[in-house]
Structure 1
Amino acid sequence: MENIDTIFVDGSTYQQAEELAVYIAKVNGSADPQQDALVHEIKSHESGSTSDSLTLILVKHADALAKAPTKEYEAVFNQLFFIIRASSSDIISETVPSAINSILAGGAESVIPKLKVLTNLFNILDVRSPLRANVLVALVNLAASSGYLSAVQSQLDKVASWTDIWGLSPADKSNLYLCISKALQTESTAAQSLDYLIKALRASQDDASRSMGSLKAEAIRAVASTLTSPKLYHFEQLAALAPVRALAGEKIHMLLEVFLQGDLAQLQAFLQHNAGFVQEYKLDETALLSKMRHIVLTQLGARHVAQKLSYSDIATALSIPVEEVELWVIDVIRAGLIQAKIDQMSSTVHVNRTTYLTFGQQQWAEVRAKLSEWDESLSDVLQVIGNAKLIAQQQAHSAASVSVQSKTQ
Structure 2
Amino acid sequence: MPRARNYLAPQDPILFKLTCVSVQLHAMARTTQHVFIDGTFADLSQELADYLNIGSEVTPLLEQNKKDDVLKKLVTASIALNATPEKEFTAAYNLLVYLVIQSPSVNIFLPKICDNLSRPITSSPQNGPGLALNVLTTVFNLLAPDNEVRFNVFQAVLRLIKANGLYETLRSQLKNLDAWVQEWELDEEDQRKLFGMVADVADDAGEEEEAYEFILKALRTFDPKDKEISSEEAQTLSLRALKAALLSPTHYDFHDLTSLPAIQALSDSHPTHSELLDIFSEKDLEDYTDFRDENENFLEEQDLDNSKLHRKMRLLTMASLCASTNSKEIPYKLIAKALQIPSEDVEMWVIDVIRAGLVEGKLSQQKQMFLVHRTTYRVFGEKQWREIATRLDQWKESLKVVKEVISRERQQAEAQKEREMHEADRKLAGASGMGAGRRTGGNRDNMVEMGTD
Fold conserved (TM > 0.5)?
yes
Which deviates the most, 12-21 or 191-200? Answer: 12-21
Cα drift, residue 268 of structure 1: 1.1
Letter in 2 for 1:268: T
Note the C-alpha offset of 1:8: 4.2
Q: Which of 217, 229, 244 does residue 236 from structure 2 map onto?
A: 217
Output the amino acid matched with 1:247: L
1:226 corresponds, among 219, 222, 245, to 245
RMSD: 2.3
1:240 maps to which residue? 259
In structure 1, the residue corresponding to 2:52 is in which secondary structure?
Answer: helix
Q: After superposition, what is the alpha-carbon deviation per residue over 1:106-136, rounded to whole angstroms, capped at 9, x for unaligned? A: 3242321111111211221212223223222
Q: Indicate how the Cα distance of structure 1 residues 72 and 204 shifts in structure 2: closer, same or farther if over 3 A, else same.
A: farther
Change over 3 Å in CA distance of 1:382–1:396 after alignment to 2: same
Q: Secondary structure at the match of 2:252?
A: coil
CA shift, 1:304, in A, is 3.5
Distance 1:196 1:399, change over 3 A: same
Counterparts in 2 of 1:63 and 1:168: CA distance versus 1, 3 Å: same
- Aligned residue for 1:59? 75
Match of 2:283 among 262, 265, 288: 262
Structure 1: gaps of 5 or more residues: 26-32
Distance 1:14 1:254, change over 3 A: farther
**Mean Cα displacement is larger for which, 234-243 or 300-309?**
300-309
Deviation at 1:290, TM superposition (A): 1.0
Structure 1: how far apart are the matches of 2:61 and 2:227?
A: 43
1:177 Cα deviation from its structure 2 partner: 0.0
Q: Report whether the alignment pairs 1:71 with 2:87.
A: yes
Distance in 1 between the 2:86 and 2:317 partners?
Answer: 58
Partner of 2:266: helix, strand, or coil? coil
In 2 relative to 1, CA 200–234 (structure 1 residues): closer, same or farther, beyond 3 Å?
A: same
Aligned pairs (5 A) from 1:124-203 = 124-186=142-204, 188-203=206-221
* Corresponding residue number in structure 1 for 2:4: none
**SS of match in other structure, 2:186:** coil
C-alpha contact (below 8 Å) 1:140/1:180 kept by paired residues: yes
The 2-side partners of 1:220 and 1:201 are apart by 11
* Residue 169 of structure 1: how far off its partner (Å): 2.0
**Amino acid in the other structure paired with 2:337:** T
Change (3 A) 1:300 1:176: same
1:256-285 C-alpha deviation (Å, 9 max, x unpaired): 112123221121121122233212210011
Aligned residue type for 1:100 = C
Q: Does 1:289 align with 2:310?
A: yes
Query: Sequence identity, in percent?
Result: 29
> In the superposition, relative to structure 1, how do residues 18 and 207 fare at CA in structure 2: closer, same or farther (>3 Å)?
farther
Comparing 387-396 and 252-261, the one that deviates more: 387-396
Q: What is the total number of aligned residue pairs between the two structures? A: 395
Q: CA deviation at 1:95?
A: 2.3
CA distance in 2, matches of 1:315, 1:187: 39
| Greater mean alpha carbon deviation, residues 97-106 or residues 297-306 | 297-306
Contact 1:65-1:77 within 8 A present in 2 as well:
yes
| Correspondences of 1:9-408 after superposition (within 5 Å) | 9-25=37-53, 34=55, 36-37=56-57, 39-46=58-65, 49=66, 52-88=68-104, 91-107=105-121, 108-109=124-125, 110-186=128-204, 188-205=206-223, 210-214=228-232, 215-249=234-268, 250=270, 251-304=272-325, 307-405=328-426, 406-407=428-429
1:213, 1:246 within 8 Å by CA — same for their partners in 2?
A: no
1:146-205 Cα deviation digits (max 9, x unpaired): 122222222123322322233222222111001111222236222221111111101233
Q: 1:365: Cα distance to partner?
A: 1.8
Match of 2:362, SS?
strand
Deviation at 1:14, TM superposition (A): 3.2
Q: Secondary structure at the match of 1:340?
A: strand
Report if aligned partners of 1:7, 1:78 keep a CA contact under 8 Å in 2.
Answer: no
Moved more, 118-127 or 297-306: 297-306
Counterpart Cα distance in 1 of 2:411 and 2:400: 16
Output the CA distance in 2 between the equivalents of 1:14 and 1:355.
Answer: 70
SS at the partner of 1:105?
A: coil
